[in-house]
Amino acid sequence: MEYAIECIDLHKSFGRHQIHKGIDLKIVKGAITYIIGPSGTGKSVLLKQLCGLMPPTKGRVLVNGRDLTQMKQSELTEMRKKFGILFQNAALFDSMNVFENVAFPLREHTKLSKGEISKIVSEKLRLVGLRDVEQKMPSELSGGMRKRVGLARAIALEPEIILYDEPTTGLDPIMCDAVDNLINDTQKELGITSIVISHDIESTLKIADYIAMLYDGKVVLYGTPEEFKTTENPYVRQFFSASKEGPINII
């Protein structure tokens, strides 16, 4: 098995607040890995550490075998080109219109001509189901539309690894299905390694090759959807059944 990313004994604290208490996780190259777990367990914080946007307090993150925590800033910047990232809040540039937002990584990291960039931007917007929005400003879009612009930007460079933080939250059921298919297709057609944070258990079980569940700073189970469906693991069972009874503390 080849791994795109390996987390080794990863710890993360903010002051006295311990978020990750020793995460060991290997992300299989070319596969789709879903990360699930209750709100506030540190899924988004983990994603930021995987791509070098946030340093761990302790432990290592290897990308293609190279340790991010030992890299100089210039090496980190170079390495980040391998990643496409859809942040949880879409994080568009508010002063740029939709076209410029999606074109941004292409302008930053490639020498493509204006015409080529324009073609790619239209193609990616079409893939996420958006039309006639290129000249609109982010403030003129609905939340779901902004999310899809963020998605188009994340896939624009056809990166080696795409990180999706809750790509379907806030989208209507038809759009959710379209985004699920998009994640599936980009991986199947382009062999991209995809890491998806999701609260949608149904699509997790449908699309994932592997699933990792986080709770209390650790990975409580890692396995295939089949293993998650049949496991007796009390954390997974409680989470899947949305029950108040079990080892997960409901605050």
Ligand X SMILES: Nc1ncnc2c1ncn2[C@@H]1O[C@H](COP(=O)(O)OP(=O)(O)OP(=O)(O)O)[C@@H](O)[C@H]1O
Pairing, β 83-86 against β 17-28:
unpaired
44 belongs to the binding site for Mg ion (CB under 5 A): yes
Nearer to Mg ion, 44 or 184 (CB): 44
Nearer to Mg ion, 50 or 106 (CB): 50
Q: Distance between CA atoms of 20 and 65, rounded to whole angstroms?
A: 22
Q: How far is the CB of 131 from ligand X (least distance, A)?
A: 30
- Applying CB under 6 A, what is the total number of residues that bind ligand X? 10
In 3D space, the residue among 150, 162, 159 whose CA is nearest the CA of residue 33 turns out to be 162
Q: Which of 25, 32, 34, 42 binds ligand X (CB under 6 A)?
A: 42
39 binds, among ligand X, Mg ion, none (CB under 5 to 8 A by kind): ligand X
113 belongs to the binding site for ligand X (CB under 6 A): no
Q: Are 62 and 52 in contact (CB under 8 A)?
A: no
Q: Are 179 and 151 in contact (CB under 8 A)?
A: yes
Within residues 140-169, the interface with ligand X by CB under 6 A covers none
Q: Distance between CA atoms of 31 and 208, rounded to whole angstroms?
A: 8
231 belongs to the binding site for Mg ion (CB under 5 A): no
Q: Are 149 and 90 in contact (CB under 8 A)?
A: yes
14 belongs to the binding site for ligand X (CB under 6 A): yes
Nearer to ligand X, 43 or 153 (CB): 43
In 3D space, the residue among 133, 173, 169, 176 whose CA is nearest the CA of residue 153 turns out to be 133
DSSP 1: -
Assign residue 99 a region: left if phi > 0, alpha if psi is -120 to 50, beta otherwise?
alpha
Nearer to ligand X, 76 or 96 (CB): 76
Nearer to ligand X, 125 or 162 (CB): 162
Q: Interacting stretch for Mg ion, rule CB under 5 A, among 40-48, 106-114, 153-161, 241-249? A: 40-48
Burial class (CB in 10 A: 0-12, 13-18, 19+), 194: buried
Q: Are 196 and 167 in contact (CB under 8 A)?
A: yes
Q: For ligand X, what does the binding mask look like between residues 77 and 96, x meaning CB under 6 A? A: -----------x--------
- Maximum separation of any 2 CA atoms in the chain, in Å: 58
Q: How far is the CB of 39 from Mg ion (least distance, A)?
A: 7
Q: Which of 27, 31, 33, 41 binds ligand X (CB under 6 A)?
A: 41
169 belongs to the binding site for Mg ion (CB under 5 A): no
Q: Which of 8, 45, 91, 96 binds ligand X (CB under 6 A)?
A: 45
Residues that bind ligand X (CB under 6 A): 14, 19, 39-45, 88
Residues that bind Mg ion (CB under 5 A): 43-44, 88
